[in-house]
């Protein structure tokens, strides 16, 4: 902090010295304060003013000279503080939660900012030592209550747990942005990259008014009218000149993904609209619903802290125990659960599992039998002789320390989906609800 304050007031000192040299000779210098006296006064006043403002001054993000545009390089770029790699294409993703509704009735809400590789693949949970909790406390400690107020309106969890949602987005995606590495900062202050991540996401989101883009093309929420994917995509491409990706659930539009390449760092670089890097839209060609927001908004679970935000949080262990269900979350939303055979089902009743301590973790058993990962697929059956020992990370089921599971697509209706530990098109996590 002392070094940062010195750098902040150094120009003031130089100006004082310069002014003294320009004072006419006829002025009685003995009646004026000395350079040393003025310097001491400034040194005392500036830190007091900084702290009185309530704004925590951190370090400086990387200064990048002639940075390259991510995903457009033909040779390896080694300076990943000024060049986003391997996650070179950044996606600003948005939700339309209609029931229960989140955010204003005439505005989409923030999902996140995701660093994809330039081919549509991606990394996740890249730094277990920066899986921070209580994001709101970190942002408040930085003096960014304006940012937090905006997030409390436009970055909403459909179940009401905004804090948990923010932690998930930072831990899964933010830790994988190379230009946000602490080592990229000069005079780094703990967690300042977290604030930069949320600020940049909000700044981008403010430039991408999806509701207005669609309304300008006559595409408005309706309980009766439907649209074609081509109409929606054209409306969203018009303001930026490049395509987006749209996602649907049960035939209704509920997500938009905007793609950018970045010239320089995420903190200070230029975001250049880009064509999708391989991620495809999931909506049908015709008959796409865009439903108005109805129902009662979820009550928000508030997380507050009067203490100091954490300097680091290692990946928690923890364990499932007793009886409970295994709810599934994908795309930031809880959608169905794991049923007795180990498959994912989005309708009907959740199965009851028994979690029993085993070694450093626990095993799971359903009415079908023991649960194990066999040939990369989660299976619960009487034919399973050796149950897999799982663990829990941040309240999520983990296999070999990884909380990500996969399937080819989100199941609908009476369809069940196999759950795999091998990467596929759809990523999901599995929680635990004790009963």
Radius of gyration of the chain (CA): 26
Active site residue 169: yes
Closest CA to 185 of 262, 266, 241, 252: 266
Contacts of 386 (CB under 8 A, 6+ apart): 370, 372
CA terminus-to-terminus distance, the chain = 49
Catalytic residue among 163, 173, 193, 255: 173
Active site residue 275: no
CA angle 152, 155, 157 (to 5 degrees): 95
What is the C-alpha separation between 172 and 308, in angstroms, rounded? Answer: 23
Catalytic residue among 163, 169, 193, 255: 169
User: Order of strands, edge to edge, in the sheet holding 327-330?
Assistant: 405-407, 426-430, 327-330, 333-338, 344-345, 416-417
Catalytic residue among 111, 163, 167, 255: 111
What is the C-alpha separation between 334 and 299, in angstroms, rounded? Answer: 16
**Burial class, 138, CB count within 10 angstroms (exposed 0-12 / middle 13-18 / buried 19+):** buried
Q: Is 342 left (phi over 0), alpha (psi -120 to 50) or beta?
A: left
Active site residues: 111, 169, 173
């Amino acid at each position: 902090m002392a070094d940062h304050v010195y750098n902040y007031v150094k120009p003031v000192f130089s100006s004082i010295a310069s002014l003294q040299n320009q004072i006419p000779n006829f002025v009685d210098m003995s009646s004026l304060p000395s350079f040393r006296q003025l310097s001491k006064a400034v040194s005392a006043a500036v830190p007091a003013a900084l702290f009185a403002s309530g704004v925590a001054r951190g370090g400086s993000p990387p200064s990048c000279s002639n940075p390259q545009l991510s995903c457009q390089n033909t040779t390896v770029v080694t300076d990943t503080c000024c060049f986003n790699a391997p996650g070179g294409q950044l996606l600003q993703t948005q939700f339309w939660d209609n029931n229960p509704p989140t955010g204003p009735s005439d505005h989409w809400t923030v999902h996140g900012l995701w660093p994809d590789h330039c081919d549509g693949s991606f990394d996740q949970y890249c730094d277990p030592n920066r899986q921070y909790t209580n994001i709101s406390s970190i942002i408040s400690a930085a003096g960014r209550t304006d940012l937090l107020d905006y997030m409390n309106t436009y970055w909403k969890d459909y179940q009401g747990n905004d804090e948990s949602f923010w932690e998930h987005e930072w831990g899964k995606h933010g830790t994988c942005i190379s230009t946000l590495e602490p080592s990229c900062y000069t005079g780094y202050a703990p967690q300042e990259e977290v604030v930069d991540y949320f600020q940049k996401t909000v700044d981008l989101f403010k430039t991408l008014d999806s509701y207005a883009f669609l309304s300008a093309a006559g595409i408005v929420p309706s309980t009766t009218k439907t649209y074609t994917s081509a109409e929606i995509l054209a409306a969203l491409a018009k303001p930026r000149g490049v395509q987006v990706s749209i996602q649907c659930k049960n035939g209704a539009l509920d997500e938009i993904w905007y793609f950018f390449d970045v010239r320089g760092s995420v903190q200070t670089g230029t975001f250049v609209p880009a064509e999708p890097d391989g991620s495809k839209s999931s909506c049908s060609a015709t008959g796409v619903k865009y439903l108005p927001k109805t129902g009662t908004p979820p009550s928000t679970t508030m997380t507050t802290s009067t203490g100091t935000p954490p300097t680091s949080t290692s990946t928690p262990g923890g364990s499932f125990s007793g009886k409970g269900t295994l709810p599934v979350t994908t795309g930031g939303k809880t959608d169905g659960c794991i049923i007795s055979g180990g498959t994912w089902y989005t309708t009907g009743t959740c199965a009851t599992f028994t979690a029993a301590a085993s070694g450093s973790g626990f095993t799971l058993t359903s009415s079908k039998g023991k649960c194990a990962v066999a040939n990369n697929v989660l299976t619960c059956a009487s034919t399973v002789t050796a149950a897999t020992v799982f663990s829990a990370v941040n309240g999520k089921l983990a296999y070999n320390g990884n909380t990500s599971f996969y399937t080819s697509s989100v199941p609908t209706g009476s369809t069940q989906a196999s759950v795999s530990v091998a990467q596929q098109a759809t990523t999901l996590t599995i929680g635990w609800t004790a009963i």
